[in-house]
Amino acid sequence: MNAMGGPTVIDLKALSERFDIFLLDQFGVLHDGNAAYPGAVEALAHLKAAGKRVVLLSNSGRRAGPNEGRLERLGFPRASWDRLVTSGEVAWHLLSGHGPEKRIPPGSRCLYFARDGDRTAVEGLDLQLVEDGADADLVLIAGSEADRLTLDDYRGMLAPAAARDVPCMCTNPDKIMLTTSGPRPGAGRIAEIYTELGGKVRWIGKPFKEIYQAALDALGNPDPARVVCVGDSVEHDIAGGHGAGLATALVRSGILADLPAEALSALYREHGAAPEFVLPGFYWTAG
């Protein structure tokens, strides 16, 4: 915080001099889903060259592999991060029984929502995919296609499952997604509809603690004082980082790029979380 009690405006190079470990969001910080932001590829390389440990922490409902492949196609060298932890990866391990929880019953029927026909979030799981909520034993919301489907379409598909109190897992809590057509309702908004219909949702991803613990476990549980969370969402990245006991930096790109300062302050109050630092963008300033 600065002397006035607000977040300190800082550039990435100066932020790197304060922290050793960076938990970085990808959408809205590194890229918009279609192209890398100007300077982001170089900035990530500079962090690694400075000896920083970098974990990409994403609310993607897909597993880590497909996300890493997309980053490489967007021009980010694989050597520029240490690990990529997605909410989809965390959920897959939970559903497969690779953890303290009991594995889902073999052959469970799953009503599955994803984007672009992606099936990586359920590959290797003993699930039978169904298209009718009346037949489902589990609802899995990994992605949104709200740029081609209406929210009423989703209500119609979800209502039969909610009426039967079928458990639901949302592996992408983002309520807004960036598309080539502009911002659209994300998977988190679809999961909210499920709760509005009376169903219960288990949320996997930021701002919830499980994904942060998975990232810190992958790093060997370092000193939290040496870790900073960098993201473009107050609701997910800043509130989530604070909930995990970590410092946070808000990047003024992505979904909040054009938000006036007054509206941003209102978001801080709404979510009870303000970042310690604000970055104008994710790029490296020489000098």
pLDDT at 13: 96
Mean of the pLDDT values across residues 173-194? 89
Euclidean distance between CA atoms 103 and 138, whole angstroms? 13
Euclidean distance between CA atoms 149 and 85, whole angstroms? 28
Same domain, 166 and 223: no
Same domain, 183 and 56: no
Mean of the pLDDT values across residues 84-92? 94
Q: Is residue 285 part of a domain?
A: no
pLDDT at 183: 84
Model pLDDT for residues 250-283, shown as the tens digit of each residue: 999 877 888 898 999 999 999 999 999 999 999 9
Euclidean distance between CA atoms 154 and 22, whole angstroms? 36
The answer, yes or no, to whether residue 244 has pLDDT greater than 80, is yes
Nearest CA to 10 among 250, 234, 219?
250
* Residues contacting 152, CB < 8 A, separation 6+: none
Euclidean distance between CA atoms 272 and 167, whole angstroms? 29
Burial group, residue 28, by CB count within 10 angstroms (0-12, 13-18, 19+):
buried
pTM of the model: 0.87
Same domain, 67 and 135: no
249, 16 Cβ separation under 8 angstroms: no
Q: Is residue 286 part of a domain?
A: no
Residue with tokens 């808000």: 250
Give the three-state DSSP class for 34: coil
The answer, yes or no, to whether residue 4 has pLDDT greater than 60, is no
Q: Is residue 99 part of a domain?
A: no
Mean of the pLDDT values across residues 60-79? 94
Mean of the pLDDT values across residues 110-129? 91
pLDDT at 103: 66
Which residue range is the domain that position 248 belongs to?
A: 8-89+206-279
Q: Is residue 247 part of a domain?
A: yes
The answer, yes or no, to whether residue 1 has pLDDT greater than 70, is no
| Count of domains observed in the chain | 2
Instruction: Tell me which amino acid residue 61 is.
Output: G
Model pLDDT for residues 26-39, shown as the tens digit of each residue: 999 999 888 999 99
pLDDT at 255: 77
Q: Structure tokens of 79?
A: 């050597």
Cβ atoms within 10 Å, residue 107: 9
Same domain, 108 and 196: yes
Same domain, 197 and 254: no
Model pLDDT for residues 129-176, shown as the tens digit of each residue: 999 999 999 999 999 999 899 999 999 999 999 999 999 999 999 898
80, 45 Cβ separation under 8 angstroms: yes
Same domain, 26 and 160: no
Q: Is residue 98 part of a domain?
A: no
Residue with tokens 């709404």: 270
The string of DSSP codes covering 85-153 is: EEHHHHHHHHHHT-SSSPPPPTTEEEEEE-STT--TTTTTS-EEEES-GGG-SEEEE----TTTS-HHH
Boundary residue ending a domain (175, 203, 231): 203
Largest interatomic CA distance in the chain: 61
pLDDT at 286: 75
What is the domain-level CATH number for residue 70? 3.40.50.1000
Confidence of residue 101 (pLDDT cuts 50, 70, 90): low
Strands (E), the chain: 8-9, 21-24, 53-58, 83-86, 108-113, 127-130, 138-141, 168-170, 176-179, 182-185, 201-203, 227-231, 247-251, 277-279
